[in-house]
Amino acid sequence: MSQSLQEMLREAAALIEAAETVTVVGHVRSDADAIGSVSALVLALRQLGKQASGLVGQPEPFSANLLSIPGSGEIRITDELPDADLIVTVDCGSIDRTGFFAEAIAERCSQTLVIDHHASNPGFGKVNLLVREAESTTTVLHELFKVLGVKVDREIAHCIYAGLVTDTGSFRWGRAEMHALASELMLTGIDTAAIAVDLMDSTDLRDLQMIGRVLAGVATHQVGDLTIATLTASNDLISGHSEAAVESLVDFVRALRGTDVGVVFKEMSPGTWAVSLRSTVIDVSRIAVALDGGGHVPAAGYTTYGGIGAVETELLQVLESVGAPDRA
């Protein structure tokens, strides 16, 4: 482990040790790493005798399948950031990913600890524990727990595993260390087969039919020497379907043979698109950042507005100017 990581861990631990009350914030449109991180940290802080609560700053509840993560039922969906000695954001690649709390956190950044693994994170806290090599934010927390002397019990192990298994696409990528960590977590007695079903295989028949309709519309586009595969999940196709099923669409174009970039345009409400980008060839975090989003080198996203034609053209233009010269 590098010295600077040890230093970041010690600084983060010092902030936590000095606080009695802590608010933990996960990102909007929460995934298993966000909810696993909030839950793991809240459980750990309570073990250390602190008053801790977990929040997500968006209007709608998070995906129902994430309620399988221990402690997640206690996470509040709210627009109010309560008073606390310390705010910790987890898995939030930028301040706007904290949703309703963005302004309040900007004002209280001297009381904020940022814990994350996104390549595009600018560091918006007093202390920023940013580990871009980490497979998930929950694995960064696992390192922090060692410094803080937190016992990784079965519940905390479940939370850490939830972020790890999903953010590695079921262990399809990542470093050797994460397999050792998975083994250590399994030895606490967590049921990894059940966790995989809860987090990744929770679609029903109607969802599967929706997936079929979206897949039927797969298209490819040529941008310079890049071939782009796109799926368009229009609002009329996805509305009323589980978030987990909609989020699973990207796996079909993540690395489609003969293509360089996979894209899913998800129309969350009429005219509002959450766009997912995946590539094993170019750095898609740069594409997402150019469109006011963010993410990792192989997986990134952004939000945009308008009709599908304009939304598609906007992306292809950015891919042409930002994507092609920098093949990773």
Residues that bind ligand AMP (CB under 6 A): 93-94, 97, 118, 250, 276, 293-296, 299-303
Number of residues that make up the chain: 328
Residue with tokens 């861990």: 9
Strand 51-56 versus strand 21-26 pairing type:
parallel
Sheet holding 86-90, edge to edge: 76-77, 51-56, 21-26, 86-90, 112-116, 127-130
Q: Which partner, ligand AMP, Mn ion, none, binds residue 302 by CB below 5 to 8 Å per kind?
A: ligand AMP
Q: Which residues pair with 52 in a beta bridge?
A: 22
Stretch 40-79: interaction string toward Mn ion, x if CB under 5 A: ----------------------------------------
Q: How far is the CB of 125 from ligand AMP (least distance, A)?
A: 17
Q: Are 132 and 139 in contact (CB under 8 A)?
A: no
Q: Which partner, Mn ion, ligand AMP, none, binds residue 301 by CB below 5 to 8 Å per kind?
A: ligand AMP
Q: Which partner, Mn ion, ligand AMP, none, binds residue 34 by CB below 5 to 8 Å per kind?
A: Mn ion
Residue 283 binding Mn ion, by CB under 5 A: no
Structure tokens at 86: 């310390």
What DSSP string describes 54-101? EEE-SSSPPPGGGGGSTTGGG-EE-S-----SEEEEES-SSGGGGGGG
Beta-strand ranges (E) seen in 141-239 are 219-223, 226-233
Q: Which stretch binds Mn ion (CB under 5 A): 46-54, 129-137, 274-282, 295-303?
A: 129-137
CA distance 311 to 254: 20
| Residue (57 or 293) nearer to ligand AMP, CB | 293
Angle value at C-alpha 252, between 246 and 258, nearest 5 degrees? 150
Residue 167 binding Mn ion, by CB under 5 A: yes
Residue 116 binding Mn ion, by CB under 5 A: no
Q: Which partner, Mn ion, ligand AMP, none, binds residue 88 by CB below 5 to 8 Å per kind?
A: none
Q: Which partner, ligand AMP, Mn ion, none, binds residue 300 by CB below 5 to 8 Å per kind?
A: ligand AMP
| Residue (167 or 247) nearer to Mn ion, CB | 167
Looking at beta carbons, which residue is closest to Mn ion? 33
Task: Decide: helix, strand or coil at residue 48.
Answer: coil
Task: Decide: helix, strand or coil at residue 227.
Answer: strand
Q: Which partner, Mn ion, ligand AMP, none, binds residue 283 by CB below 5 to 8 Å per kind?
A: none
Q: Which partner, Mn ion, ligand AMP, none, binds residue 295 by CB below 5 to 8 Å per kind?
A: ligand AMP
Q: How many residues lie near Mn ion (CB under 5 A)?
A: 6
Residue 33 binding Mn ion, by CB under 5 A: yes
| Residue (54 or 294) nearer to ligand AMP, CB | 294
Q: How far is the CB of 231 from Mn ion (least distance, A)?
A: 20
Residue 34 binding Mn ion, by CB under 5 A: yes
CA distance 291 to 323: 12
Backbone phi and psi for residue 130, each to the nearest 5 degrees, phi listed first: -110, 120
| Residue (111 or 285) nearer to ligand AMP, CB | 285
Backbone phi and psi for residue 90, each to the nearest 5 degrees, phi listed first: -125, 135
| Residue (293 or 323) nearer to ligand AMP, CB | 293
Q: Which partner, ligand AMP, Mn ion, none, binds residue 260 by CB below 5 to 8 Å per kind?
A: none
| Residue (31 or 267) nearer to Mn ion, CB | 31
What DSSP string describes 234-268? -HHHHTTS-HHHHHHGGGGTTT-TT-SEEEEEEEE
Structure tokens at 266: 């998800």
| Residue (97 or 241) nearer to ligand AMP, CB | 97
Angle formed by the axes of helices 154-167 and 32-47, to 10°?
A: 160
Interface residues with Mn ion (CB under 5 A) are: 31, 33-34, 91, 137, 167
